[in-house]
């Protein structure tokens, strides 16, 4: 099947995102074209290594690229200072030099950690993203944000370090657990909700194909998301403005994830699904978009098997005030004001800095009282 290329046109640091089935087989050729070095350092996790590491190492070897490998434990806890120290130590032991490549083979956890490690090793060496989750293919592997988590919060220590290449193999997603696949789908639909109503409708109509088949619908969806993200990153690499639109649903999502203690009880994409529903509901309540828009959005998410309302999630035991406190700690909060992405309709999102916290609290109180025995009822 043919691969498609999307260019991220950053001056002096432009790179391609290659999307298609079996693009992994061309990894050696693609990487060899970027450097004279024939050494690479692959970072991956145990789940991905078991299924896909050899599918990468074989083509690297064929292109004459020798690769050292670090296989890390899977899960968010890997994005830690301790693991960063461990990983950079392994990279130094392998005598990685400028000109050599780090290759991040995995989901957003591996991409964020390996990209950060590459960004600080010897003041920065190049890296390639080979995202293996749908979320990483449409979001985290593109745009150069890298980070680890600390006690104070998620993604608070990190840097912008653009990859030199992104290889998104739509076939590797076949081994991804369906729940992780749906979580990535939440972000796919989000792109349409932000700026392209026709795309949102197309995604919703093709949800099953995107979720279950490595065919052209999945590739088209990933390519479209990468195009949108590339354009946003080109316009606003460091999130001074427009890039924040990509956070549609994310202020609420961060509140949900924090209330769940980042425990895996709620996946990021599941929180985004609920968060997008809440963002449209808030927009409706503020008279910004037509009645029924939030129901439309929630219907699309629910049809793909995602939680669409707070009451669809396990009981997180948080009060509306606690949610708001968590939301205010989001790093996008500015001068104490929570920043929301709201919408004037599907595909018409914008950034709002002056939302009345009382309206939000009122909405969350109602949303939480959907649930029997919730604290909000007391």
Ligand X SMILES: NC(=O)c1ccc[n+]([C@@H]2O[C@H](COP(=O)([O-])OP(=O)(O)OC[C@H]3O[C@@H](n4cnc5c(N)ncnc54)[C@H](O)[C@@H]3O)[C@@H](O)[C@H]2O)c1
Annotated catalytic residues are 123, 145, 187, 229, 239, 243, 247, 250, 254, 268
Contact 15, 164 (CB under 8 A): yes
CB of 203 to ligand X, least distance (A): 18
d(CA 199, CA 176): 24
Return the residues of window 61-90 that contact ligand X according to CB under 6 A: 74-76, 79
CB of 175 to ligand X, least distance (A): 4
Q: Tell me if 271 contacts ligand X by CB under 6 A.
A: no
Q: Tell me if 234 contacts ligand X by CB under 6 A.
A: no
Inter-helix orientation angle 178-195/268-285, to 10°: 30
Of 35, 88, 155, 329, the residue at the interface with ligand X (CB under 6 A) is 155
Closest to 163 measured CA to CA, from 6, 3, 8, 4: 8
Radius of gyration (Cα) for the chain, nearest Å?
A: 20
The structure tokens listed for 336 are 């104490």
Of 37, 47, 170, 247, the residue at the interface with ligand X (CB under 6 A) is 47
Of 77, 175, 215, 314, the residue at the interface with ligand X (CB under 6 A) is 175
Q: Tell me if 272 contacts ligand X by CB under 6 A.
A: no
Q: How many CB atoms lie within 10 A of CB 90?
A: 17
The structure tokens listed for 17 are 């995102």
Question: Which residue, 25 or 355, is less far from ligand X as judged by CB?
Answer: 25
| Residue number with the smallest Cβ distance to ligand X | 108
Return the residues of window 86-125 that contact ligand X according to CB under 6 A: 106-110, 112
Q: How many CB atoms lie within 10 A of CB 123?
A: 7
Of 8, 102, 135, 339, the residue at the interface with ligand X (CB under 6 A) is 135
CB of 374 to ligand X, least distance (A): 28
Q: Tell me if 176 contacts ligand X by CB under 6 A.
A: yes
Contact 191, 225 (CB under 8 A): yes
Q: Tell me if 170 contacts ligand X by CB under 6 A.
A: no
236: enclosing H helix or E strand: none
By three-state DSSP, how is residue 338 classified? Answer: coil
Q: Tell me if 140 contacts ligand X by CB under 6 A.
A: yes
161 Ramachandran zone, left/alpha/beta (phi>0; psi -120 to 50): beta
Binding site for ligand X (CB under 6 A): 45, 47-48, 51, 74-76, 79, 106-110, 112, 132-133, 135-136, 139-140, 143, 145, 154-155, 172-173, 175-176, 180, 268
């Amino acid at each position: 099947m043919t691969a498609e290329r999307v260019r991220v046109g950053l001056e002096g640091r432009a790179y391609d995102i290659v999307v298609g089935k079996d693009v992994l087989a061309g990894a050696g050729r693609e990487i060899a074209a970027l450097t004279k070095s024939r050494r690479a350092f692959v970072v991956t996790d145990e789940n991905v290594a078991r299924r896909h590491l050899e599918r990468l190492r074989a083509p690297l070897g064929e292109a004459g690229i020798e690769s050292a490998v670090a296989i890390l434990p899977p899960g968010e806890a890997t994005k830690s200072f301790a693991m960063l120290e461990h990983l950079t130590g392994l990279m130094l032991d392998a005598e990685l030099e400028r000109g050599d490549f780090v290759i991040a083979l995995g989901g957003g956890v591996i991409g964020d950690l390996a990209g950060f490690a590459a960004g600080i090793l010897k003041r920065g060496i190049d890296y390639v993203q080979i995202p293996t989750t749908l979320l990483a293919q449409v979001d985290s592997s593109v745009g150069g944000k890298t980070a680890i988590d600390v006690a104070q919060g998620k993604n608070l220590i990190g840097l912008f370090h653009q990859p030199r290449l992104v290889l998104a193999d739509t076939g590797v997603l076949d081994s991804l657990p369906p729940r992780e696949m749906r979580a990535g789908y939440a972000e796919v639909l989000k792109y349409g909700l932000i700026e392209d109503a026709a795309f949102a409708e197309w995604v919703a109509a093709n949800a099953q194909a995107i979720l279950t088949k490595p065919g052209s619908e999945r590739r088209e969806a990933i390519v479209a998301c990468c195009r949108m993200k590339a354009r946003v990153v080109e316009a606003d690499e460091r999130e001074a403005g427009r890039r924040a639109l990509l956070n549609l649903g994310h202020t609420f999502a961060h509140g949900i994830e924090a209330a769940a203690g980042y425990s895996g009880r709620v996946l990021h994409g599941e929180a985004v699904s609920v968060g997008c529903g809440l963002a449209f509901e808030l927009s409706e309540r503020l008279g910004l978009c037509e009645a029924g828009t939030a129901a439309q959005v929630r219907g699309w998410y629910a049809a793909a098997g995602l939680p669409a309302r707070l009451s669809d999630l396990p009981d997180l035991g948080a009060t509306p005030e606690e949610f708001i406190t968590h939301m205010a700690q989001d790093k996008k909060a500015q001068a104490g004001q929570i920043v929301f992405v709201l919408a004037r309709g599907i595909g018409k999102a914008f950034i709002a800095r002056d939302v009345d916290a009382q309206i939000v609290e009122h909405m969350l109180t109602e949303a939480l009282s959907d649930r029997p025995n919730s604290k909000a009822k007391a």
